Amino acid sequence: MTSDFFKNLQKAKALDAERKAAVEKKLDAERKARVEKFLAEKKEAAKYLDSGCDKDEKKDSQGAIEDYTKAIKIYPTYTEAYANRGCAKEELGDQAGALADWKKAADLGDKEAAKWIKEVEDKTGITQERELTREKREKIVAKAKKEGFDWVSKPQIATFEPEELILLIQLEKEADPAQVDWFNKHPNLIEGLHRHMGDEPLIETESSKQKKVVEKYNFEINDWQLNIYKAAFANEAKEFLKAWNDDAGGKDHGEAIIYDPSGDGRFCCWDEQHGGTIYVPKRCMLADPDFYDIEAWEEVDKDYCVDLGLLSEEDSWEDFVQECKKTGGIGAEPMMATYVLRLSYLDANGEDDGFVDDNDLIESCGAHFEDLHEDSRWHDG
């Protein structure tokens, strides 16, 4: 019984030895295969490295970068390829890419690459982090331009942190389009409202991060009139106008309006106590159809003149026309007429602050001052 035990034990030891030998043989083969593969890959990567160096000498920096990149793809820890690619990128002005490659080479033990990084930082003050930030910002700007946000081209954008710029663009996208459209369609009204409201509307945000961005770049948001500014201003403007019409303009003037012939954007109202009829020869309107809305005017004919009391039903229209040709009256040639009211400026309290200039008034009524017939009146009380 004892002898059988020892026989079995010897067999087990022999089997273990065989297994161990087989495992070691397999491991040796795998190690050998890995080493061979490594050497083959390094040899292949070295070809691309050499090719990149040749292209560098020929000043083909872009071609060199492509070869160095292929070398790195084959051999991811190829220190020399990273260092050389960094130099090629520097030649093309890609400082961020150069610093990134040199950093990788330095991490892999390239002391020369570490010196290059320090030289760049000491000479220019540019760090890898700053260059990567700039690169990221430029990508954000390029995308924003394609989406129609032209303000990202302003020089000041270079001082914006990428994350802040992303938040600001997102706020722009979320701005109420109806309010923005109202702002854009009422430039004269907006100009006048600035005088009474100021130009810093309250911009509401949903998160603390958005709020901080709005507070930090409040001047730029207002000065550039971004969409979030327009939407906020339009919202407050509509409330202001309602209060103005109810409390100020509504006292004696009816609905207050904005008239802006010269860019001053002042509040005005139509003065129902002063006005009259203006006349423009029909030939003037036909000569300038883009300006005149002839359908909005009344033709001066016999019925018109009868209503005006210039002749009676029994009078001859032909005789009236001939008489007007002698005296220069409104019947001397085909004439158009419209009734107008005086336009008065209002002060901040809704009180009269002087009449709008005659020339500007006539333009606002849809006529050129120089086209008016001499019988036109708009001062009558």
pLDDT score of 146 more than 80 = yes
Top pLDDT among 9 and 155 is at 155
Average pLDDT in the 30-36 region? 65
Instruction: Kindly indicate the confidence band of residue 359, based on its pLDDT and cuts at 50, 70 and 90.
Output: confident
Burial call 17-29: b when 16+ CB within 10 Å, e when fewer: eeeeeeeeeeeee
Instruction: Kindly indicate the confidence band of residue 19, based on its pLDDT and cuts at 50, 70 and 90.
Output: low
SS3 337: strand
Could you tell me if 346 and 267 are in contact, meaning their C-beta atoms sit under 8 angstroms apart?
yes
pLDDT of residue 254: 45
Residue 259 — φ and ψ, nearest 5°? -125, 135
pLDDT of residue 205: 85
Range scoring the smallest mean pLDDT among 7-21, 60-74, 161-175? 7-21
CA 329 to chain centre: 56
Range scoring the smallest mean pLDDT among 155-164, 192-201, 235-244, 332-341? 192-201
SS3 276: strand
Top pLDDT among 146 and 29 is at 146
Provide the CB-side half-sphere exposure for 239 (13 A, CA).
7
Cβ atoms < 10 Å from Cβ of 153: 10
Provide the CB-side half-sphere exposure for 211 (13 A, CA).
5
Average pLDDT in the 154-173 region? 90
Rounded Cα distance between 118 and 234, Å, is 52
pLDDT of residue 261: 56
125: left (phi > 0), else alpha (psi -120 to 50), else beta? Answer: left
pLDDT of residue 380: 62
Could you tell me if 223 and 151 are in contact, meaning their C-beta atoms sit under 8 angstroms apart?
no
Instruction: Kindly indicate the confidence band of residue 251, based on its pLDDT and cuts at 50, 70 and 90.
Output: very low
Domains in the chain, please, with CATH?
Answer: 2-130 (1.25.40.10), 153-245 (no CATH), 257-371 (no CATH)
Range scoring the smallest mean pLDDT among 92-101, 159-168, 206-215, 306-315? 92-101
pLDDT of residue 168: 93
CA angle, residues 287, 380, 248, in degrees to nearest 5:
100
Range scoring the smallest mean pLDDT among 7-11, 63-67, 152-156, 314-318? 7-11
Instruction: Kindly indicate the confidence band of residue 14, based on its pLDDT and cuts at 50, 70 and 90.
Output: low
pLDDT score of 28 more than 80 = no
Instruction: Kindly indicate the confidence band of residue 212, based on its pLDDT and cuts at 50, 70 and 90.
Output: very high
Kindly tell me the burial class for residue 72, based on how many C-beta atoms sit within 10 Å of its own C-beta (0-12, 13-18, 19 or more).
Answer: buried
Residues 6 or more apart in contact with residue 125 via CB below 8 angstroms: none
pLDDT 10s digits, 219-231: 999 889 999 999 9
Top pLDDT among 122 and 4 is at 122
Residue with tokens 């004892």: 2
Q: Which residues pair with 346 in a beta bridge?
A: 352
Instruction: Kindly indicate the confidence band of residue 332, based on its pLDDT and cuts at 50, 70 and 90.
Output: very high
Kindly tell me the burial class for residue 1, based on how many C-beta atoms sit within 10 Å of its own C-beta (0-12, 13-18, 19 or more).
Answer: exposed
Rounded Cα distance between 299 and 279, Å, is 10
Rounded Cα distance between 275 and 380, Å, is 5
pLDDT of residue 274: 81
Top pLDDT among 348 and 91 is at 91
pLDDT of residue 189: 72
Helix 79-91 / helix 111-124 crossing angle, nearest 10 deg: 30
Average pLDDT in the chain: 82
Provide the strand spans (E) within the chain. Answer: 257-259, 266-281, 298-299, 335-346, 352-355
Rounded Cα distance between 200 and 219, Å, is 9
pLDDT of residue 100: 83
Could you tell me if 371 and 281 are in contact, meaning their C-beta atoms sit under 8 angstroms apart?
yes
pLDDT score of 361 more than 50 = yes
Percent of all residues in the chain with a pLDDT value above 90, rounded to a whole number? 34
What does the block give as tokens for 328?
A: 């220069």
SS3 340: strand
Q: Is the pTM of this model over 0.75?
A: no
Instruction: Kindly indicate the confidence band of residue 258, based on its pLDDT and cuts at 50, 70 and 90.
Output: low
Please give the helix or strand (H or E) that residue 236 lies within, else none.
Answer: helix 227-247
Residues 6 or more apart in contact with residue 71 via CB below 8 angstroms: 45, 46, 48, 49, 52, 78, 81
Instruction: Kindly indicate the confidence band of residue 125, based on its pLDDT and cuts at 50, 70 and 90.
Output: low
Instruction: Kindly indicate the confidence band of residue 252, based on its pLDDT and cuts at 50, 70 and 90.
Output: very low
Please give the helix or strand (H or E) that residue 20 lies within, else none.
Answer: helix 2-57
